[in-house]
Chain A
Amino acid sequence: MNKDWSGPLVDSIGDYAIFMLDPEGNIRSWNSGAERLGQHRRDEAIGRHLAALHPPEDVAAGKPGRLLSAAARDGRIEDEGWRVRKDGSRFWAGVLITAARDPGGRLIGFSIVIRDLGEHRLASEDLHRSEERFRRLVESVKDYAIFMLDPNGFIQTWNDGARRIKQYEASEAIGRHMSIFYPPADAAAGKPERLLARAVVDGRVEDEGWRVRKDGSRFWADVVITALRDSQGRLVGFAKVTRDLTERKQAEDERLRLAQAEEALRLRDEFLSIASHELKTPLTAMQLQMQAARRGLEGTPGHRLDRALRSAERLSQLIETLLDVSRIVSGHLSLKPETADLRDLAQEVVDRMTPSATHAGVPLSLSLNGPLPGRWDPLRMSQVLTNLVSNAIKYGQGSPVEVALRRVRGQARLEVMDGGPGIPPEDLERIFGRFERAVSARNYGGLGLGLYISRQIVEAHGGRIHAENRPDGGARFVVELPLLVAATSEAGELH
């Protein structure tokens, strides 16, 4: 026993096991602290190998020999781990092994200091358990892909969310580079590396864009990459959190598409309004000149000028129709209701249209039944009736056109009927839409707006309009109007 090493001082230190080994690892000294910690009495300990203090699995793995070799090589080594008492129980130990050399540098043994770290161990186990809980939490998150990258962007961990969003199993993803999630063009352009570089500089980086799943399909991702540093500020890797925002992106795209479509419609309607005003101006001058010229020919037949005037009038009506549409879509269709009998209005329209019906070889008849007083915009209601009658003349293929008015269940009911081919059932509702028609525009002229405008006018009067096919053939358009419409504005003569 070397008196230099087992003096009273060392002997009296109870909290530390302090002893000496020979170069082969056999115990050569043993202090009272060692007796207390290891439970071996001095005479039991001396001569035994250091391995007597290690758990069997460490001994089997050659740990004691490795520690000594490392200490011999490096001068000293620290270790923290399980050690075994004489009764087989274990304690968590902090171990310092220092190589002892003679002045010639020859290894003469090792000094060992062991401390029971019981309480430290509990604290570090708590930490370990807390880390473990956190790890399980992260692993079980399904809505977010959360994983770690090494400083070069290679995947180190994987969670359920990553598996769900990116479709790779942990075994397929770990060890691969993050660029596998990027569309080839982005990967080729160095986007993944750029993001990492920015995270290194700024601490974190956020990106929204397309990413690629294992099966090659794309998803719209929100990605946050955070640089991870150790206590000395050295980059140890990155934490990457990815959310799949594809559904939100699709909803946003859809909203955007709708907004663009609405804007396009608005622009079209605005254009319609401006264009019709612009068209009206030269037409006004033209009609004035033609009317003046026709007036100069008072008493002569003037057929050509009359035709030209009629054409100008038709042009004027078409422009008015376009203006009506722009008024309707911009909500500016206003009524000027007056108290009138619908029969008078119908009579006026039928009288006015009889010449053109006769010209087309179409018998036009009107049947009236009882008074139908109400408040309507006379110009607008005439417009509806004119539209229905001219449609009947146009599409009825020469069959008689009948206009009938009567009171039904407290409402005015106006019917315009023809004996033509009728309307395909699937078109009965569609024809009231904008720019819709039941027949091809090639065969019949017109803008396809008449019924649309008629429906708007009728509904603005609080009424309804629909089309049906008569059991005995032909089409029937039915307008139902309340007999008393509240006045929305007063109309009157100014002079």
Chain B
Amino acid sequence: MRQVLVIEDDEEIRESLVETLHDNGHPAVGAANGKAGLELLARADLPCLILLDLMMPVMDGHEFRAAQLKNPQLASVPVVVLSAHRDLDNEARKLGASAWMQKPLKLDELLEAVKRYCVD
């Protein structure tokens, strides 16, 4: 089963997501910012889904998304944007994301989304 890549700078949120996804049958791996995410993507198998935070140090969600779309191998990986941003749908649309989820996250909705992209 392919992994979910969680790109989120807050360690507690990142680890909670990775653990919870794991507990619910979805292998997941975390990256602390966009740059770390790109590095992981370069040396691991393509994930089935990227959960992407927007505001991060080093490389934020927008910069990550731009770099992802420039790379033909990565461009097709679906991205779900996670943010506390109120105007998230507009942000997500600008980024060409597949979906968005408002923080605080609803676990049921999150698992539903992961299932949609990662279970064939």
Contacts and interface: CB of A to CB of B under 8 A. Distances in A.
Interface string B89-111: 11011000111100111111000
B76 interface: no
A296 interface: yes
B93 A292 contact: no
Contacts of B90: 489
B73 interface: no
Contacts of A60: none
Nearest to B87: A334
Interface stretch (B14-22, B26-34, B63-71): B14-22
Interface residues of B, number: 26
A282 B20 contact: no
Most buried by A among B24, B86, B90, B93: B86
Interface string A273-289: 00001001111110111
Contacts of A285: 10, 12-13, 16
A494 B100 contact: yes
B10 A323 contact: no
A284 B23 contact: no
Contact of A323 (B12, B86, B93): B86
Contact of A494 (B12, B93, B108): B93
B84 interface: yes
Interface string A304-318: 000000001000100
A492 B19 CA distance: 32
B92 A494 contact: yes
Interface residues of A, number: 25
A379 to B, nearest CB: 10
Contacts of A288: 13, 16-17, 20, 104-105, 107
Nearest to B96: A494
A359 interface: no
Contacts of B105: 284, 287-288
Interface in A166-213: none
A411 interface: no
Contacts of B16: 285, 288-289, 292
A495 B87 CA distance: 17
Contact of B23 (A277, A292, A316): A292
Contacts of A295: 24, 107
Contacts of B108: 291
Nearest to A288: B16
A387 to B, nearest CB: 17
A18 B12 CA distance: 119
A296 B23 contact: yes
B19 A292 contact: yes
Interface in A303-360: 312, 316, 323, 327, 334, 336
B10 A281 contact: yes
Interface in A248-291: 277, 280-285, 287-289, 291
A16 to B, nearest CB: 103
Nearest to A292: B20
Contact of A284 (B89, B92, B103): B103
Contacts of A283: 104
A405 B104 CA distance: 33
A494 B98 contact: yes
A291 B105 CA distance: 10
Contacts of B92: 494
Given A327-B86, A494-B99, A282 B12 contact: yes
A287 B93 CA distance: 26
A236 interface: no
A491 interface: yes
A295 B97 CA distance: 28
B115 to A, nearest CB: 13
Nearest to B15: A285
Contacts of B99: 494-495
Contact of A280 (B20, B87, B104): B104
Nearest to A313: B104
A491 B12 contact: no
B16 to A, nearest CB: 4
B76 to A, nearest CB: 15
A322 to B, nearest CB: 12
B104 A284 contact: yes
A292 B87 CA distance: 27
A281 B13 contact: yes
Most buried by A among B20, B92, B108: B20
Interface in A417-445: none
Contact of B89 (A280, A292, A296, A491): A491
Contacts of B98: 494-495
A287 B87 contact: no
B84 A280 contact: yes
Interface in A99-113: none
Contacts of B10: 281-282, 284-285
Given A296-B23, A494-B89, A495-B99, A284 B107 contact: no
Interface of B: 10, 12-13, 16-17, 19-20, 23-24, 84, 86-87, 89-90, 92-93, 97-100, 103-108
11 contacts: A284-B104, A285-B10, A288-B16, A288-B105, A289-B16, A291-B108, A292-B19, A292-B24, A334-B87, A492-B89, A494-B99
Q: Which 5 A-B pairs have the closest CB atoms?
A: A285-B12, A291-B107, A288-B16, A292-B20, A284-B104
Given A281-B103, A285-B12, 16 more contacts: A277-B84, A281-B12, A281-B13, A283-B104, A284-B10, A284-B84, A287-B105, A288-B17, A288-B104, A291-B107, A292-B23, A296-B23, A489-B90, A492-B89, A494-B97, A495-B98
